[in-house]
Amino acid sequence: MLIRTPKDWALPESAVTPERDYDLRPRRDFLKTLGYGVAGLAGSALTSHSLLATTAGFPTRVNPDFRDPALKPTSYELITSYNNFYEFGTDKSEPKPNANKGWTTEPWTVEISGLINNPMKIDANDLVSKLGGAEQRVYRFRCVEAWSMVIPWDGFPLSKLIALADPKSEAKFVTFTTFNDPKNVPGQRRPVLDWPYFEGLRLDEANHDLSFIATGIYGKPIPNQNGAPLRLVVPWKYGFKYGKSIVKIDFVAKQPRNTWQAMAAQEYGFYANVNPTVDHPRWSQASERVIGGGGVLGSRQKTLMFNGYENQVAGLYTGMNLAKFY
């Protein structure tokens, strides 16, 4: 039974219009606004190669608690062709072609390490099977660049992986290190970012019911350009928290620095909670462009506190100054 009372994070059905209305011309906004001047990042040296993604856990079961009928997903085509994945290029249109030649994501080993009782190195497919397979959840997605999508993710709750790892009491944060493969990924031979891309969460954030590791999109194994085979999903935070193609999950005592914070700490913090009242130093966060929302620039909608998940996650930040801890 999927007839449920719409949750308070629901988008109106009209918020997303068909794919045909969207203009896919590459944009350099993010790069431009960050002041980087990198062109042709992922070069043509990549060779042709057929790729497989993590396949365990498919077909997935829809989890009705995370499938609000009022949230209308962005098209598969847009989700998988309008990407930020700087290892494969800095234009939104580059990761799709560049991540699908010369770079394989199966087999894939992930290391789970640090202040835990059950450290392991495990194949991504085996991990999914061990955690009971995959489920599908539809979440809002909000990028710090002020655009948004709605994405049906397949995968597993991060809390299941944490339970398997069995953290010691000293563990307070979880870090996510993504792949480093400069031999096969030309973008990583250039100092665009401080490779490998790196992210972190407080342990209680990581254990929240909404935190998720995606292995698929729309019931299909996640494409390379979206972070195959394992990528973080934390829907109340800006998209840069969602580390792609994770190779190591480490439990630590101290708050780590994340990639974008290391690049520009005055602009990108550790928490990165979606917050319409705290602007980026160079642009407003009060509203967002809905990708696929119609028209050349897409339609705009107001940004919601914690991206619409305020009732679920505000308690994680009680008493914190969210303008200071951005």
Region for residue 220 given its phi and psi (left: phi exceeds 0; alpha: psi -120 to 50; beta: otherwise): beta
Of 86 and 156, which CB lies nearer to ligand MTE in the complex structure? 86
Which residues in 41-79 are b (16+ Cβ under 10 Å) and which e? bbeeebeeeebebbebbbebebeeebbbeebbbbbbebb
Task: Round to whole Å and give the CA distance between 310 and 296.
Answer: 31
Task: Round to whole Å and give the CA distance between 221 and 51.
Answer: 11
Give the β-pairing of 198-202 and 287-290. Answer: unpaired
From residue 14, give the alpha-carbon distance in Å to each of 18, 294, 307: 10, 10, 18
Q: Which residue is nearest to ligand MTE (CB)?
A: 239
Of 90 and 125, which CB lies nearer to ligand MTE in the complex structure? 90
| Minimum CB distance to ligand MTE, residue 70 (Å) | 22
Of 60 and 90, which CB lies nearer to ligand MTE in the complex structure? 90
Give the β-pairing of 231-233 and 212-217. Answer: antiparallel
| Minimum CB distance to ligand MTE, residue 1 (Å) | 31
Of 167 and 215, which CB lies nearer to ligand MTE in the complex structure? 215
What tokens appear for 5 in the block?
């009372």
Task: Round to whole Å and give the CA distance between 263 and 20.
Answer: 36
| Minimum CB distance to ligand MTE, residue 72 (Å) | 17
Of 167 and 226, which CB lies nearer to ligand MTE in the complex structure? 226
In eight-state DSSP terms, residue 45 is: T
Task: Round to whole Å and give the CA distance between 245 and 105.
Answer: 8
| Minimum CB distance to ligand MTE, residue 244 (Å) | 3
Of 60 and 74, which CB lies nearer to ligand MTE in the complex structure? 74
User: Which residues contact ligand MTE (rule: CB under 6 A)?
Assistant: 83-87, 143, 178, 197, 226, 239-240, 242-245
Helix or strand holding residue 162 (H, E): helix 158-165
Of 69 and 97, which CB lies nearer to ligand MTE in the complex structure? 97
Q: Hey, which residues does 157 pair with through a beta bridge?
A: 212
